[in-house]
Amino acid sequence: MNSKPAKLSKRSRRISTTLVAGAGVLGVVALSGCAAETGKTGGSDEVTITVPSWVGAQANAEVAKVILEDELDVKKVTLKTMDEPIAWDALNNGKADAILEDWDGQPEKQKLYLDQKKSVVKGGDLGVTGHIGWFIPKYYADAHPEATTVEGLNKLAKDFKSSESGDKGEFLGAAPSYTTYDEWLIKNNKLDFKIKETGNEAAQIKEIQQKYKNKKPFVTYWWDPQWLNSDVELVEVKLPEFKEGCNEPKEKTECGYAKTPLQKYFNKDFAKDGGEAAEFLKNFKWTTEQQNEVAKWIAKDKMSGEDAAKKWVKENKDVWEAWLPKK
Amino acid sequence: MSAAPTTPVLDKADVPEKSPAVPQAPGTLARLVANPKVLLLIAAVLLAVVSAAVTGSGVWPGDLTFDLRAPLTDFNEWLVQNRDTHWIFLYFLLHISNSAEASVDAVGSLLTSLGFIGVTVLAVLLAWYAGGAGLRGRALRTAGTALVTFLVIGLLGMWEPAMETLALMVVCVVASAVVGFVLGLLAGLSDRGERFLRPVFDTMQVLPAFAYLLPLVLFFDVGVPAAFTATVIYSAPPMARLTSLGLRGGDAAALEASRSLGATSWQQLLTARIPLARKQMFLGLNQTIMMCLSMAVLASMIGAPGLGEEIFRALSILDIGQSLGAGIAIVLIAVWFDRTTAAAGDRLDDPDARRGRGATWIQGGVVVVGTAVAAVIGSAIGRVEWPDNWVVSISEPVNTVTTWIEDELGSGVPVIGGTLTLASGFSNYVLNPMRDALQATPWWAILVLGGVLAYLAGRWRAALTTVLALGLIGGMGLWTRSMDTLSQVLAGLLLTLVLGFAIGILAARVDWLDRVIRPVLDTMQTLPAFIYLIPMVALFMGGRFAGVAAAVIYALPAVVRITNQGIRDINPAALEAARSLGATTGQQLRQVQIPLARKALQLAVNQGVVLVLSMVVIAGMIGGGALGVDVVKGLAKGDLGLGMTAGVAIVCLGILLDRISQPGADIKKDHPLVKKGFQF
Query: Domain of A236: which CATH number?
Result: 3.40.190.100
Q: Looking at the structure, do residues A161 and A224 belong to the same domain, yes or no?
A: yes
Task: Tell me, yes or no, whether A12 lies in a domain.
Answer: no
Task: Provide φ and ψ at A120, rounded to 5°.
Answer: -125, 140
Taking an 8 Å cut-off on Cβ atoms, the answer to whether A37 and B269 are in contact is: no
Q: Are both A72 and A163 inside the same structural domain?
A: no
Q: What is the pLDDT of residue B357?
A: 52
Helical residues (DSSP H) of A96-252, grouped into ranges: 107-109, 138-143, 150-155, 182-188, 201-213
The answer on A294 and A272 residing in a single domain is: yes
Going through chain A in order, the beta strands assigned E by DSSP cover 46-51, 76-81, 98-102, 120-137, 169-172, 193-196, 219-224, 234-237, 259-267
Which residues touch A253 (CB under 8 Å, ≥6 apart)? A181, A184, A185, A188, A246, A247
* CB atoms A85 and B636 under 8 Å: yes
For B567-606, strand residue ranges (E) read: none
Which of A7-16, A180-189, B113-122, B313-322 comes out lowest in average pLDDT?
A7-16
Per the structure, the complete domain to which residue A233 belongs is given by 131-259
Torsion angle defined by CA atoms of residues B53, B55, B57 and B58, in that order, rounded to the nearest 10 degrees: -100
The total domain count for chain A is 2
Nearest in space to A284 (alpha carbons), one of A245, A322, A250: A322
| Cα atoms found within 13 Å of the Cα of residue B73, Cβ hemisphere only | 11
Find the CB nearest A85 among B83, B245, B637.
Answer: B637
Asked if B541 and A206 come within 8 Å (Cβ–Cβ), the reply is yes
Do residues B624 and B488 touch, judged by C-beta distance below 8 A? yes
CA atoms of B324 and B321, how far apart (whole Å): 5
Longest dimension (CA), chain B: 84
| Min Cα–Cα distance to chain B from A143, Å | 26
* CA dist., res. B544 & res. A198, Å (int): 10
What is the structure's pLDDT at B14?
41
The pLDDT of B154-172, averaged and rounded, is: 90
Q: Scanning every residue of chain B, which has its alpha carbon at the shortest distance from the alpha carbon of A40?
A: B98
Give the pLDDT confidence score for residue B354 in this predicted structure: 53
* Residue A252 shares a structural domain with residue A235: yes
- B167, pLDDT greater than 60: yes
Chain B residues with CB inside 8 Å of A164's CB? 427, 543-544, 625
Do the domain assignments include residue A17? no
pLDDT of residue B562: 87
Same domain as A300, residue A232 = no
Give 3-state DSSP helix, strand, coil % of chain B, rounded to 5. Answer: 80, 0, 20
Average pLDDT, chain B: 79
Q: At what angle do helices B598-618 and B640-661 cross, to 10 degrees?
A: 170
Using the 3D structure, point to which of A207, A237, A259 is the last residue of a domain: A259
**pLDDT computed for residue B500 by the predictor:** 92
- The amino acid present at B628, given as its one-letter code, is G
Nearest chain A CA: its distance from B194 CA (Å)? 10
Sign of the Cα torsion B341, B343, B345, B347 reads negative
Size of interface A-B (CB pairs under 8 A): 169
Last residue in a domain, options A259, A290, A308: A259
Cα A202 to the center of its chain, rounded Å: 13
Angle A254-A181-B541 from CA coordinates, rounded to 5°: 135
| DSSP β-ladder status, A46-51 and A234-237 | unpaired
Number of H-type helices and E-type strands within chain A: 13, 9
The per-residue pLDDT for B183 is 92
Q: Report the residue from B98, B265, B542 with minimal CB separation from A203.
A: B542
Which pLDDT band holds residue A38 (cuts at 50, 70, 90)? Answer: low
Q: Measured at the alpha carbon of residue A251, what is the angle toward residues A248 and A253, in degrees to the nearest 5?
A: 60
A1: in domain: no
Whether A16 is covered by a domain: the verdict is no
Chain centroid, CA A199 distance in Å:
13
Residue B425: its chain A contacts at CB < 8 A? Answer: 163
Considering the domain architecture, whether residues A103 and A188 belong to the same structural domain is answered as no
Residues A214 and A281 in one domain: no
| Whether residue B173 has pLDDT greater than 90 | yes
| Whole-angstrom distance, CA of residue B364 vs CA of residue B367 | 5
Residue A20 lies in a domain: no
Whether A251 and A287 share a structural domain: no
Q: Is A40 among the domain residues?
A: no
Chain B residues touching residue A30 (CB < 8 angstroms): 91-92, 95
**Nearest CA-CA partner of B35 in B16, B11, B63, B7:** B16
Q: For residue A20, what pLDDT is reported?
A: 64
Distance (Å, rounded) from C-alpha B287 to C-alpha B342? 10
Query: Is A184 found in the same domain as A79?
Result: no
pLDDT tens, residue by residue, A98-107: 999 998 878 8
Amino acid identity for residue B70 in this structure? A
Closest to B427 (Cα-Cα) out of A161, A156, A219: A161
Find all residues with CB under 8 Å of B557, minimum gap 6, and list them. Answer: B520, B521, B524, B525, B679
Query: Chain A residues with CB inside 8 Å of B621's CB?
Result: 199-200
CB B579 within 8 A of CB B588: yes
Task: Please give the domain boundaries of chain B with CATH numbers for all domains.
Answer: 6-56+410-667 (1.10.3720.10), 76-397 (1.10.3720.10)
> Do A235 and A205 reside in the same domain of the chain?
yes
Respond yes or no on whether the N-terminal peptide bond of residue B23 is cis (omega within 30° of 0).
no
| Statement: residue A119 has pLDDT above 80 | yes
Find the length of chain A.
Answer: 327
Is B95 near chain A, with CB under 8 Å? yes
Q: Do A121 and A96 have their domain in common?
A: yes
> What pTM, to 2 d.p., does this model score?
0.78
Q: Do B249 and A1 touch (CB under 8 A)?
A: yes
* Residue A296 covered by a domain: yes
Residue A32 lies in a domain: no
Write out pLDDT tens, residues B391-441. 777 777 777 887 777 777 766 666 666 777 888 888 888 888 888 888 888
**Residues A209 and A290 reside in one and the same domain:** no
Give residue-wise pLDDT tens across range B272-292.
Answer: 788 888 888 888 888 888 888
Burial class (CB in 10 A: 0-12, 13-18, 19+), B513: middle
Q: How many CB atoms lie within 10 A of CB A310?
A: 16
